[in-house]
Amino acid sequence: MSTAVDMPRFVRAREAEALPPPNLARGPIAWVRENLFSGPFNTILTLVVFYLLYISVPPLLNFLVFDAVWTGADRAACRADAGGSESGACWAFIWDKINYFIYGSYTISERWRVNIFFSLLAIGVVWLLWLKAPRRDLGAVYFFWVFPVVSYILLTGGNENFSVRFWIGFAIFGALIIALFAFVSALLKTSMRPALILGGGIVAVIGVTLALVDFNFGLEHVPTSLWGGILVTLLVATVGIVVSLPFGIVLALGRRSNLPIVRLASVIFIEFVRGVPLITVLIMANTMLPLFLPGDMTVDRLLRPLIGTALFASAYMAEVVRGGLQAMPKGQYEGAMSLGLNYPQMMSLIILPQALRIVIPGIVNTFIGLFKDTSLVAIVGIFDLVKTIEASRIDPDWAAPTIGLTGYAFAALFYFIFCFGMSRYSLGVERRLAAGQKR
């Protein structure tokens, strides 16, 4: 049969129909051959991996599950010389200490408040992260304002008893904020009304927050030195995540700003914080922050590392977000500007939604890093989960060879569940956002 190439002239007489693809080999054996043993190198790799799995997985399962001790009241259960089993994890120890791991030394009669905090946190996270949840705008208000205020009052007890002097100071501060907004709007020659409403709104929100914190709800005061365990770990991680994303975005925008002072300030902050280990930041926040503040002002000892981790994560977040902003084609800015959108509208409606989508893997990477870095707050004497485990494993009641291993296995499991959850969620979001917009 001749083809069109052979002939100088060709006119198709019969349409070539679309046919199904040729029947490729299917089934498990074909799959194994194609994916695991497709060549000598691949075959060797497969065998090596199988061997590594063989020597690592069964002992791990034996330790964690099959040989593990699940019940018991003290060390006897986990010691061979006292009639127990010595080769497996001592989960009885975790079970016995679980309240300490969750709440630290939080006043026992008040631990219901921590439980409410956990539930509120779960509600907020689900509301914001479940993309089909109703009224996610209200969810944002809940998560970024209602939840922090309620949590603060619940966890500390509220009733701050601000002095009259404090309220006078706040009034002056509020007036200054409103004046600043009016000044900026006059500087940019935009209309005055929205600026005044925005400034007034910010002052009002801060005022209501302070009044709520000031109010006596009759809750017993629990000092932060008693907090510990998962409570502190989740608190530091949540505050870090919630602060670092918006603050990182602001820093990234600042670094790309046309205003030299804003740009310089952002660059100095980012480069300084990134150039210093987190431990140093924490120690500085702990010991040096009080030196910079006026003598009569003290910062809570939990708040110091909280600020330290949040700022540290912000600097990393800023660089991640900057990567996304740089990936945006100039045409998107021009398209937005040509329609008359002003800078905040252009950034919030056009640029950031796309730029942040590009860097979701980087953002989640930073979140996961932050979540695990919270264990470093132990350096400055905060009893996070790892520190509570450290403190418990030397308890003489539970002196047994497997106690330390069990404790760290528990911590590993806890961190893994949260980090893996974040990772899977971000993959889901990426897939969902990519669905409509494939090019």
Residue from 77, 120, 350, 400 touching other proteins (CB under 8 A): that is 350
Q: Which is nearer to other proteins, 26 or 438 (CB)?
A: 438
Q: Please give the backbone phi and psi of residue 384, each rounded to the nearest 5 degrees, phi first.
A: -80, -175
Q: Quick check: 334 binds other proteins (CB under 8 A)?
A: yes
Stretch that binds other proteins, among 2-10, 97-105, 247-255, 346-354 (CB under 8 A): 346-354
Q: Quick check: 341 binds other proteins (CB under 8 A)?
A: yes
How far, CA to CA in Å, does 237 sit from each of 232, 251, 272, 417?
8, 20, 22, 14
Q: Residue 394 burial (CB < 10 Å; 0-12/13-18/19+)? A: exposed
Residue from 246, 353, 381, 401 touching other proteins (CB under 8 A): that is 353
Instruction: Report the distance separating Cα 79 and Cα 268, nearest Å.
Output: 56
Quick one: which of 374, 426, 356, 344 has its CA closest to 239? 374
Positions 294 through 333 that interact with other proteins (CB under 8 A): 331-332
Q: Count of residues binding other proteins (CB under 8 A)?
A: 26
CB of 179 to other proteins, least distance (A): 21
CB of 329 to other proteins, least distance (A): 8
Structure tokens at 78: 């986990």
Structure tokens at 151: 């949590």
Q: Which is nearer to other proteins, 71 or 437 (CB)?
A: 437
Structure tokens at 377: 């707050």
Q: Which is nearer to other proteins, 42 or 342 (CB)?
A: 342
Q: Which is nearer to other proteins, 257 or 354 (CB)?
A: 354
Residue from 345, 397, 416, 432 touching other proteins (CB under 8 A): that is 345
Q: 84: which residues sit within 8 A by CB, 6+ positions away?
A: 69, 72, 76, 77, 78, 400
Q: Quick check: 193 binds other proteins (CB under 8 A)?
A: no
Quick one: which of 174, 301, 294, 302 has its CA closest to 236? 302
Instruction: Report the distance separating Cα 74 and Cα 287, nearest Å.
Output: 39
Quick one: which of 275, 237, 182, 165 has its CA closest to 422? 237
CB of 326 to other proteins, least distance (A): 17
Positions 409 through 438 that interact with other proteins (CB under 8 A): 433, 436-438
Residue from 49, 342, 421, 427 touching other proteins (CB under 8 A): that is 342
Q: Quick check: 189 binds other proteins (CB under 8 A)?
A: yes
Residues forming contacts to other proteins in the complex (CB under 8 A) are 188-191, 331-332, 334-342, 345, 349-350, 353-354, 357, 433, 436-439
